[in-house]
Chain A
Amino acid sequence: MQSDSKEWVLDAETEYRFELDPGASLAIKLVHGQAEVFGAELAEGKTYLFGSECKAAIFTWQGCTLEVTGHASTEYVSDETPMAAYANLHIAFEQMRVRALRVVHGSPASDDDSDANAEPPRVLVLGPDNSGKTTICKILTNYAVRAGQNWSPMLVNVDPSEGGWAVPGAISAAPVQSPLPTASPANPLGSAATSAPTALSSNALVPLSYWYGHPEIKRNPLLLDRLIRNLGENVRDRFDGDPEAHTSGLIVDTPSSFASGPTSGASTDSRHSLIKACVDAFKINVILVVGHEKLNVEMQRLYGSRLTVLKIPKSGGVVELDLPYRERVHNYQLHTYMYGQKIDPPPGISSAILGGEAVTDLILSPSSSIISFNDLTLYRIGAESMAPSSALPIGAARTVSEMQPVLVDPASSGSGLLNAVLALIAPFNPDEAERYDEEILDLNVIGFLVITNIDIPNRKMTILSPNQGSFAGKTAVVGSFEWQE
């Protein structure tokens, strides 16, 4: 085609790894053989686009030939991958799923596994920074949906810095029915539903989302704990209503701060309590610890008696991600939430698919509208900046507790609302008698808004919203995220 494209011939069980610079994009075509990107199989002859500083790997079990067009800042082939271990994990989880399904169906137990329990896999993935937790979750999920058994595992993301299908600052859960594509870090786990028709249902996921509002968990661990429990409760409700769906199990991706951090003191307690919140909320029965010996030992000690704790190898391909990169990814994610995904193909590529979809179908048009201050009720959870409770004088109580919803007035000059990301939350209980003080903490998110302009003299603000839907009279919660186009 043109000089820019290169052919890579991969042997069986090797992977082609690449990293992209900002603004660069890469087009990869599977010329021959079989290949998968984080567990999602590529179709032969189709051109797949990657962009937004995507760092990914194309793995092949049986060997393949790839045609790569575009410029990657780093690209190489590695034959050392932990994929065999991940595949074994998948097989083991499949065993749990089929056993669970058999029990749901009421089929008699065959003697081959009568001793084994019939619980579906409910997996918590823990690991330090840059250990590939999300990737493992993705691979395991993709393998499950690819098994051809109509599994739809529940994928849960409790890492607020990642955002999952929503925007950073949220934690969410969504059942996955088709392989999750990889194209950019903006939507690492597939994307939430849009009005556009999509070929892959993983590009139209329906997540249940709660708004935490901050990238770091130490900012308000109590709130995160509560949200995790809310999420878990609703996931359980859903499973109760559909036992067969439950057999597909669930996979929980966690923030790295669950795994690492200062070794002593209050923060250790808080991360242990968050791990415990996850274990309780999602009835975890398998904990995977990625490449962290010590955490593995800790988990063995704490949970080894009642659930399976496994240490699994970390991929050598994971890239050290710095803070500026993570911030850029947050921007990509918010941009993608509002405007959809647009990656310009490298020169010479005319038709390509992006995350399994035609490129044009992923471009979205948000709507910008000017509303009165009174049209939207804004809250912040806890005080804007809080010292940890341990820093307070002994015996002193907070004036504003961490969990208290505080009304925010856009008219006050120091509100810090310009460019703030808001989470539009579900309406309060229509029954007045059922309401309670902190109800706002237990309401799920229905969408995200950004305040793009504030006009204090006229008491008006400009709101960017993902669609034309009305949000007048609703309630939104402010976090610490800001976004500017």
Chain B
Amino acid sequence: MSLYPQTHAFGQPTYPAPTYPQPGPPAYPYQQTPAPPPPVYYVDPNTFRRDYAARLAQLTINSRPIIQTLSMVAQEYSRWADIVVQCLEAHIRRVPPYMKLPSFYLLDAISKNVYDPYARHFAPFVVPLFLETYQQVDQTTRSKMEEMLLTWRTGAPTGKELFGFITQIAIERGVWGGDPGVADISKAQVLSELEFTLSQKERAVQANAWDHESRKHVEVLQQLRSLVEAGVSQDELRQILAQLRSLSQSTAPPAPAPAPAPPTYPQPSSSSYSYPSQPSYPARPSFVPPVVHHSQPQSYQYQSTDQPKSEPVDLSSLLSTSSSPAASTSTSTAPSNIAGLFSALLKAGIVSATGTPVGAGDTAKAEDNTPQPTSQGREASRAYRKAILGQKIKLTNADITRKRPSIVHFMYERLSVQCKQCGIRFSDDALGKKDMESHLDMHFRQNRKANQNIGRGHSRSWFVGLEDWVHDSSTDYKGKGRADGSRPLNAKASAAAEAANREAELRAQFVVVPQGDEAKTISCPICKETLKSEFLEDDEEWVWKNAVKKDDRIFHATCHSEALTSVQSLAVRLRNEATGRSRSGTPEASSSRASPPKEAAALRTSISPTSESKRAGLKRKVDDYSSSDVTAKNDNDGTPPMKKLALAA
């Protein structure tokens, strides 16, 4: 920094008004806002240009803090918008493909948050820049760029296209080909729009796990996605697209209205722009159009998108049960959309399912959407079934040798989340995430076990006996397999699965660490071991894992439940044992020994309701599965003994 002015500063007419930044920040108004990000205050554009470029160079990964900082600087120095824009353009063009996406996120953030004057500065070159980048990056990045592109449609504070209609159309045409809405609509375009809608919905589900409606919508959208992927005709694509688009357009305008006209910079804690700090698995950059700020229009939009897809019966029942005003608004304001989209979807479904575009409407409607609540897994496998059966392949020599590239979709695209350890893939929906988590847990356990076993040596096991082989339902060799309880297992396996489920559920409980207590270590009063704190990426909070809070004390959820169970059934025996045990020689030890049951006994009254309700929740879950599953009925009948077993465990 200092070199430059010293050699060229004086008598260089090409560098207007060079000054030293070192002499100390002049007492400009900026000083009273000592915001941490921009520590240096610029007085001349050249210094600013150099510094901004240098900061940009740090944007090598998708880092939210960096993007925020850069975006804030851009906001503060909007008088030098042209410099920011030039730097950013040069940066995007210069960096290798894998670093381009974060830069685009920055462009996006600046354009949306500061809008004026940046959007119009970017507009002239954003088309070639976007398309060139799009050509260079890999498939994952592309889909993220598509996602971003979709948010641009309504990205302006007015709810219009962020960079103007012409620009938007030009990019979309470049990405998806054709002239959207007029000529050919590519499958890719519909898919990415669907994907976009879907990801918004999934976020809603993540934000509120009990939002069953959203959950259902996700499923329906996924189903729709597989339908589209399986292949529908141009006409249906157009219809679906038109419906999706008209919906989002009709909902978009009201959204920005409540937004204050001068765009404000989102606080770091705001979740509207979540730039994931690491680009690994859960890092789905959540690009949310401004609409998202207003939950009401948002849900309204989705209700009208999704309800049509559940069958009419469902719709009315939903309406009657739903107390949310959003649901009723949706139906009252957009009935035409519902009807239109419904028919479009129905058609799409039938076409992909049977290949006979006419006459099958009624039957398809009747069976595609079973009114009973179905589990997510069921829904997902149903969608998969549709997609697979939509493939027109028969087991004949001619069909097998005929080339069809759809395998890539089923093997790769449909399963977009990949384990970095072993390459196994999972779908990107809630279910897939759950599977991925348990898969990663398995890796973790395996690594831990491997570390414990060092130097001990391994050997080949004997094969299992015939009886075990025939009757073991292969669920639990490595603790992996279907823990969804939907399979008819034998009693022992189901009891074990139940216990494992319960344990997993306990372990998943957490207590949010109070502000300021992050560094404090606390230990479980029962086992005296330290509670582990962990940062939850999704919620952005420090939590204690495997923890419950009772009477202002934090327990391990597992310890607590164990103590609870034992107290309920074995309190007396435990107490006897504790006092009668000879090896607890020291008074201290004996007192600590005796404490758990006492503690638990004291807690019993206050706790039992929650644990009761938890068990009820478990039970309900079992019911959910079995109600849609005839074969699991037997299991369900066997619940009481199972429960007993689990309690005794």
Contact = CB atoms under 8 A, between A and B. Distances in A.
B463 A446 contact: yes
B458 A445 contact: no
Contacts of B432: 148
B451 to A, nearest CB: 9
Contacts of B478: 198, 201, 204
A468 B406 CA distance: 50
Given A61-B408, A62-B412, A92 B393 contact: yes
Given A62-B408, A206-B463, A244-B487, A148 B477 contact: no
Contact of A199 (B446, B470, B631): B446
Contact of B466 (A143, A147, A444, A466): A444
Give the interface centre of B138, B391, B420, B463 by most chain A CB atoms within 10 Å.
B463
Contacts of A194: 458-461
Contacts of B450: 196-197, 358, 360-361
Contact of B381 (A149, A445, A447): A149
A43 B443 contact: no
B393 to A, nearest CB: 5
A399 to B, nearest CB: 32
Interface stretch (B265-273, B394-402, B555-563, B603-611): B394-402
Contacts of A34: 412
A332 to B, nearest CB: 15
Interface string B397-426: 101111111111011101100111111111
Given A87-B404, A147-B410, A198-B478, A365 B459 contact: yes
Interface stretch (A19-27, A128-136, A173-181, A377-385): A173-181
A158 interface: no
28 contacts: A43-B422, A61-B411, A61-B412, A84-B401, A84-B405, A88-B404, A92-B395, A94-B388, A106-B630, A108-B367, A110-B354, A110-B367, A152-B481, A177-B477, A178-B422, A179-B424, A193-B477, A199-B443, A204-B478, A238-B470, A242-B474, A244-B486, A340-B460, A367-B459, A426-B466, A447-B460, A467-B460, A468-B459
Given A110-B367, A192-B461, A241 B471 contact: yes
Interface string B456-500: 011111111110011111100110111000111010000000000
Nearest to A236: B470
B631 A243 contact: yes
A446 to B, nearest CB: 5
A97 B422 CA distance: 25
B360 interface: yes
A91 interface: yes
Contact of A209 (B355, B460, B463): B463
A196 to B, nearest CB: 4
Interface stretch (A264-272, A306-314, A317-325): A306-314
Given A43-B421, A62-B412, A310-B395, A95 B474 contact: no
B384 interface: yes
A258 interface: no
A208 B465 CA distance: 8
Nearest to A208: B469
B624 interface: no
Contacts of A147: 384, 410-411
Interface in A325-383: 337-338, 340, 356, 358, 360-361, 363-367
Interface string B538-558: 000000000000000000000
Contacts of B382: 107
Interface string B116-145: 000000000000000000000011000000
A40 B418 CA distance: 13
B532 interface: no
A124 interface: no
Interface in A162-217: 166, 175, 177-179, 192-201, 204, 206-209
A182 to B, nearest CB: 13
Contacts of A94: 388, 410
A356 B400 contact: no
B385 interface: yes
A301 interface: no
A85 B368 CA distance: 31
A85 B398 CA distance: 10
Nearest to B407: A87
Nearest to B456: A195
Contacts of A308: 395
B464 A206 contact: yes
Interface in B55-114: none
Given A199-B421, A310-B396, A84 B403 contact: yes
B311 to A, nearest CB: 14
Interface residues on A, range: 35 or more
B389 interface: yes
Given A43-B418, A92-B394, A197-B453, 17 more contacts: A40-B423, A62-B412, A85-B401, A88-B393, A105-B630, A110-B368, A111-B360, A146-B424, A175-B474, A194-B460, A286-B395, A364-B459, A366-B459, A443-B466, A447-B462, A466-B459, A467-B462
A395 interface: no
A113 interface: yes
A426 B138 CA distance: 54
B166 interface: no
B465 A426 contact: yes
Contacts, number: 266
A222 interface: no
A132 B139 CA distance: 32
B422 A234 contact: no
B313 to A, nearest CB: 15
B388 A98 contact: yes
A42 interface: yes
A41 interface: yes
A456 interface: no
A112 B397 contact: no
B414 A200 contact: no
Interface string A56-77: 0000011000000000000000
Contacts of B319: none
Given A41-B423, A149-B381, A149-B384, A312 B400 contact: yes
B459 A467 contact: yes
Nearest to B396: A310
A199 B422 contact: yes
A368 to B, nearest CB: 12
Most buried by B among A61, A91, A366, A426: A91
B112 to A, nearest CB: 32
A90 interface: yes
A148 B425 contact: yes
A96 to B, nearest CB: 8
The 4 closest A-B pairs by CB, nearest first: A43-B423, A196-B458, A466-B460, A87-B407
B364 interface: yes
A197 B459 contact: no
B629 interface: yes
B583 interface: no
The residue among B360, B410, B478 with the most chain A CB atoms within 10 A of its own CB is B478
Interface string B414-446: 110011111111110000100000000011011
Contacts of A389: none
Interface string B206-238: 000000000000000000000000000000000
Nearest to A146: B411
B354 A95 contact: no
Contacts of A92: 393-395, 399-400
Contact of A238 (B391, B463, B469): B469
Interface string A139-155: 00001001111101000
Given A95-B388, A241-B471, A242-B473, A208 B466 contact: yes
Interface string B559-602: 00000000000000000000000000000000000000000000
A204 B422 CA distance: 15
